[in-house]
Chain A
Amino acid sequence: MAAVDTADRANATEAVGVTDEILVRNAQAGDTACFGQLYQRYVDGVYSYLSFKIGNATEAEDLAEQVFLKALESLGGYKWTGVPFKAWLFRIAHNLLVDHLRRKTKRTSEPLDEALPDRRRETDPEDMLIERLTRQGLIHAVDQLTELQKQVISLKFAGGLTNAEAARIMGKTEGAVKALQHAALQSLQRRLSKVPR
């Protein structure tokens, strides 16, 4: 790769949609800008996944940082053997999340942490309150699901992963993920019907 200014390269790679593989290989070779591109690419999904599962903005931020630091630490050992970088990264996030939740006797932020940012930028206080309460009810309902169902909902709907990516992280087949998704939605439907919205 021709030597170009780091910032320019960072912009260029983002602009032309350089593959994760190229970014990872460059990062492995010492290109911090490419690692920065990977961070930009996945920080939202990772943070969203973590915050949805934890329900606490501060903890989600800390854990998101740990995810990328862990990825940085393990980057040298990452090889392109069929596991996409995104799935590898979310696997790290999942493992750290499991450790994090295991250390906690219970969720400190249940109900939902007030500091958790709003997804939408609505300024109407009433709309914001409705959204917050609705999300709180959703998270509460998700919390009642089985671990596998929770994982599917978190990975797919909060993390934005595909069935294939979720299947890799969970060690399941895509068919199993589809079935878990179905079961999770049905269970949520039942539980949310009992939750004031």
Chain B
Amino acid sequence: MNVNVTGQNTPSALDFDTALNKAIDRLRAGSPIDECVAASPRFADDLRPLLELTQMTLQLAPVPAPADVKARVRARVMAAAEAKLNRRPWWHTAASWLAGGPAWRLPPVGVAAAVVAFAVFGGGGAVVAAAHSLPGDTLYPIKLAVEDVRLAAARVTSGEDAQAALRNEIADRRVHEAKALADHGRTVPPGLIEAALRHAEAADQLVAALPDGKRVEVATALAASESQRAATLHEVWLRVPEPAKPAIEHAIQQGQAKRADKNQSQNERGDDRSGRSTTADARTPATATPAATPAATATTATGAPATGPTGAQGGRQEDRREDRQEDRGSDRDGQNDRQEDRRAGGPGERQDDQRTGDRVGQPAGGQQDRSDSGPGNSRDRDNPEGRGGGSGAAGQGGSRGASGPGGRGNR
């Protein structure tokens, strides 16, 4: 069959083009010529010589680069890639920062200086605008860089109290950014909440280094912020889609665990020093507790479990004090059971442990009804002064008695 290829719009030419192309595809896939031809018997006579030519071309035309050529070219290309790609764009630095990089070590001096110069010499408007930016926005890296400049300056010119206040302010910012992103239906990067926790922890460390009197004063100021952050985080947790919740819960849990450990050590140190609570007392005022999570307030009133990222509510200080008095010296055998129960609890899950009365796996900041608590609450033993009595979603202390995803079992 002689195909008219010049009249390519004729059905026969189009059909042959298609048949030839399919046969070539088969040939490239490894099929023998006979098989390729047999698939289009109508064009067999015309296909065969072209397929033989194609086969020869496929054997001869491809000339893979020899190993030594590939190595030489690769070395030169990769050297250029190292030089070019390692000059990372600003958004990559910001992404690394959000992903958990050491926030206060990352910004190079040059970047900081550039930001300051930018702000001083005409870029102030951009910096002001950047202050309202959110992760993912063009100006957000400027916001971070300005913060880093402030932190660096505070380390040189300010005391621990001012540095703690700045860290606390930045932690607040991260949480509010998370809420703003959630409000706008945008993705909340897990690193954002982790950054908030890092700054909060840094603030706590700075507070811990203060003299006793100053520590109480600063810690009191920070406690209100912390409570508000907890409430905000709770709102974020409620608003983000399900896939994003675990990351937030995880970040909250990590923060809680670290802070609970730290509080415990602080408590012990405080007891050793003076036999009374200073920091933790101030950080967990009763007034700051239930308001942190609206759901928790409802729980208090109804006794029903609330939904939220953490089981973390204090409150009912009077009841707790009574319970603590009773708890002291009582049996500790129930601790392990409660720990196991709490580990089993997951988000949205709740169990009433009849042995202890503890609520297990309570996802929200549901208030723990301390009057139901059985003996042997380690928090109470560890914290006879009532430290850590209440916090919100990201709080600590009280959360250890009523654990949800962000909660923490008795230790």
- Are A175 and B88 in contact, with the CB atoms below 8 A? no
Residues in chain B near residue A154, CB distance under 8 A? 61
Smallest beta-carbon distance A133→chain B, Å:
10
B63 within 8 Å of A by Cβ? yes
Quick one: which of B17, B77, B88 contacts A72, CB cutoff 8 A?
Answer: B77
Stretch touching chain B among A14-22, A45-53, A86-94, A100-108: A45-53
Query: Are B57 and A153 in contact (CB-based, < 8 A)?
Result: yes
**Distance between B75 CB and nearest chain A CB, rounded to angstroms:** 10
Q: Which residues does chain B contribute within 8 Å of A170, judged by CB atoms?
A: none
Contacts of B85 in A (CB 8 A): 27, 30-32, 35, 72, 75
For A119, what are the chain B residues with a Cβ–Cβ distance below 8 Å? 59-60, 62-64
A36 to B82 alpha-carbon distance, docked (Å): 10
Please name the residue on chain B nearest to A187 by beta carbon: B5
C-alpha gap A32/B50 in the complex (Å): 43
Other-chain residue from B20, B24, B80, B88 in contact with A29 (beta carbon distance below 8 A): B88
Q: Which chain A residues in 27-72 approach chain B with CB under 8 Å?
A: 27, 29-32, 35-36, 39-40, 43-44, 47-48, 51-52, 57, 61, 64-65, 68-69, 72
| Across-interface contacts of B317 in A (CB, < 8 A) | none
Say yes or no: A32 contacts B82, CB within 8 Å.
Answer: yes
A189 touching B64 in the complex, CB below 8 Å, given contacts A61-B72, A72-B80? no
Within 8 A of A (CB), among B35-58: 49-50, 53-54, 56-58
| B355 beta carbon closer than 8 Å to chain A | no
Q: Can you list, as one digit per residue, whether each of A177-193 has a CB less than 8 Å from chain B (1) or not (0)?
A: 01101110110110010
Q: Which residues of B contact A160 (CB under 8 A)?
A: 62
Residue among B17, B49, B92 with max Cβ neighbours from chain A (10 Å): B17
Cross-chain contact A65 with B62 (CB below 8 angstroms): no
Say whether B54 contacts A157, CB under 8 Å: yes
The answer to whether B78 touches A39 (Cβ under 8 A) is yes
B81 part of interface (Cβ distance < 8 Å): yes
A81 CA to B231 CA, complexed, in Å: 42
Docked CA distance A135–B24 (Å): 19
Closest CB-CB distance, B90 to chain A, in whole Å? 11
Q: Is A151 an interface residue (CB 8 A)?
A: no
Bitwise interface map of A from 148 to 167 toward B, beta carbon under 8 Å scored 1, else 0: 00000110011010010000
Bound together, the chains give a CA A44 to CA B53 distance in angstroms of 22
A29–B95 touching, CB < 8 Å? yes
User: How far does the Cβ of B199 sit from chain A's closest Cβ, in whole Å?
Assistant: 21
CA gap between A175 and B17 in the complex, in Å: 8
Does B301 interact with chain A (Cβ within 8 Å)? no
Contact of B89 among A30, A47, A131, A175 (CB under 8 A): A30
Q: Is the CB of B60 within 8 A of A134?
A: yes
Nearest chain A CB to B79 CB, angstrom units: 10
Check B65–A47 contact: CB distance below 8 A: yes
Q: Mark A92-118, 1 if CB is under 8 A from B, else 0.
A: 000000000000000000000000110
Residue of B nearest to A160 (CB): B62
**How many whole Å from A35's CB to the nearest CB in chain B?**
5
Q: Is the CB of A30 within 8 A of B57?
A: no
B18 CB contacts on chain A under 8 angstroms: 178
24 A-B residue pairs with Cβ-Cβ distance under 8 Å, sorted by A, are A29-B92, A30-B92, A31-B85, A32-B85, A39-B74, A44-B62, A51-B63, A52-B62, A52-B63, A61-B65, A64-B69, A72-B85, A119-B59, A119-B64, A138-B57, A153-B61, A157-B54, A157-B58, A158-B62, A179-B5, A181-B20, A185-B50, A185-B54, A186-B5
Closest 5 CB pairs of A and B: A47-B65, A30-B88, A158-B61, A178-B17, A44-B64
Residues of A whose CB lies within 8 Å of any CB of B are: 27, 29-32, 35-36, 39-40, 43-44, 47-48, 51-52, 57, 61, 64-65, 68-69, 72-73, 75-76, 116-117, 119-120, 131, 134-135, 138, 153-154, 157-158, 160, 163, 175, 178-179, 181-183, 185-186, 188-189, 192
Tell me the B residues contacting A by CB distance below 8 Å. 5, 8, 13-14, 16-18, 20-21, 24, 49-50, 53-54, 56-66, 69-70, 72-74, 76-78, 80-82, 84-89, 92, 95
Beyond A65-B76, A153-B61, A192-B53, 15 additional pairs, beta carbon < 8 A: A30-B86, A32-B81, A32-B85, A43-B74, A44-B70, A57-B69, A72-B77, A117-B63, A119-B62, A154-B61, A157-B58, A158-B61, A163-B21, A179-B17, A182-B17
